[in-house]
Amino acid sequence: MPALPDIDLVVFDVLGTMVDEPGGLRRGFRELLPDIGDARAEELVELWHRHVGEQQREMLAGRRPYAGSAVVDREAAARVAAAVGIGDEKEEEAVRSLAAAALRLDPWPDSARALGRLASRYPVVGLSNADHAALTRINAHAGLRWHQMLSAADAHGYKPAPEVYRLAIANAGCPPERLLMVAAHAWDLRGAQALGMRTAYVERPVGDPPSATDSFDLFAKDLDDLAIQLDAI
């Protein structure tokens, strides 16, 4: 295990790391289209994520004014509705239903338990690309309890933009090397690492695995494993 300095605070990504976002979307698609097959559901999940990723990159590049996650998710819901041929008379209802599904995301089996365990030792902070209203609903549905919840909306940006991680650093009131960023997305950890934060990759069925060139401080098979590793430091 790599040597870590004293950690004062643990920062967690939420979507994908703490909750199963693709699973929630699939459930929403099946509620709207009960006969949809698994392959088609996966295509629609990919369409949703592709739209969200494209629009976030447009904003980060300055080619689109900032819009919060609720706006972008509604756009993604409209694209999915159009892709499955929802008629005009039912489109608005379908878009509302799909956008709501993006807020009803189940936690991974270890999320609430491990978060509580870590919260008994460290301040635990969520740092998410979702806006505040979305985070209120996501965390309530998933039963996640934080000492603090930060949204990229406060920086008018999206991870991996540096100003989003600076929100966590500024709110912590300590040097970045005393903050540990936890995520199932290697791109997220690279963004935190560039600001001097320590990093912990957690395996999830979804996410962005590390490449051969990534060098994070901790690698854990799940959040329970991460808690055990931190207890040993």
Look at the domain 9-20+105-231 and name its fold: Rossmann fold (3.40.50)
Condensed to tens digits (0 to 9), the pLDDT of residues 167-198 reads 999 999 999 999 999 999 999 999 999 999 99
Cβ atoms within 10 Å of 1's Cβ, excluding its own: 9
Beta strands in 68-145 (DSSP E): 124-128
Task: Summarize the confidence of residues 110-126 as an average pLDDT.
Answer: 97
What is the amino acid identity at position 61?
A: A
pLDDT tier, 5 (very low <50, low <70, confident <90, very high otherwise): low
The Cα 104–Cα 143 span in angstroms is: 11
Q: What is the structure's pLDDT at 232?
A: 82
Task: Summarize the confidence of residues 69-79 as an average pLDDT.
Answer: 96
* pLDDT above 60 (res 3): no
Q: Is the peptide bond before 160 cis (omega within 30 degrees of 0)?
A: yes
* pLDDT above 60 (res 44): yes
H-helix or E-strand spanning residue 183:
strand 179-183
Cβ atoms within 10 Å of 62's Cβ, excluding its own: 8
In eight-state DSSP terms, residue 110 is T
pLDDT tier, 14 (very low <50, low <70, confident <90, very high otherwise): very high
Structure tokens at 24: 């929630």
Can you give the pTM of this predicted structure? 0.94
Structure tokens at 60: 């980060």
Q: What distances in angstroms separate CA 26 from CA 38, 73, 98, 105, one per listed residue? A: 9, 14, 10, 10
186-189, Cβ contacts within 8 angstroms, sequence gap of 24 or more: 186/210, 186/211, 186/214, 186/216, 187/160, 188/13, 188/159, 188/160, 189/214, 189/216
* Mean of the per-residue pLDDT values of the chain: 95
Look at the domain 21-101 and name its fold: DNA polymerase; domain 1 (1.10.150)
Task: Summarize the confidence of residues 24-38 as an average pLDDT.
Answer: 94
In the sheet that holds 124-128, the strands lie side by side as 148-151, 124-128, 9-12, 179-183, 198-202, 218-220
Q: What is the structure's pLDDT at 51?
A: 98
Q: What is the structure's pLDDT at 1?
A: 42
Q: Which residue ranges make up each domain of the chain?
A: 9-20+105-231, 21-101
Task: Summarize the confidence of residues 101-128 as an average pLDDT.
Answer: 97
List beta partners, residue 151: 128
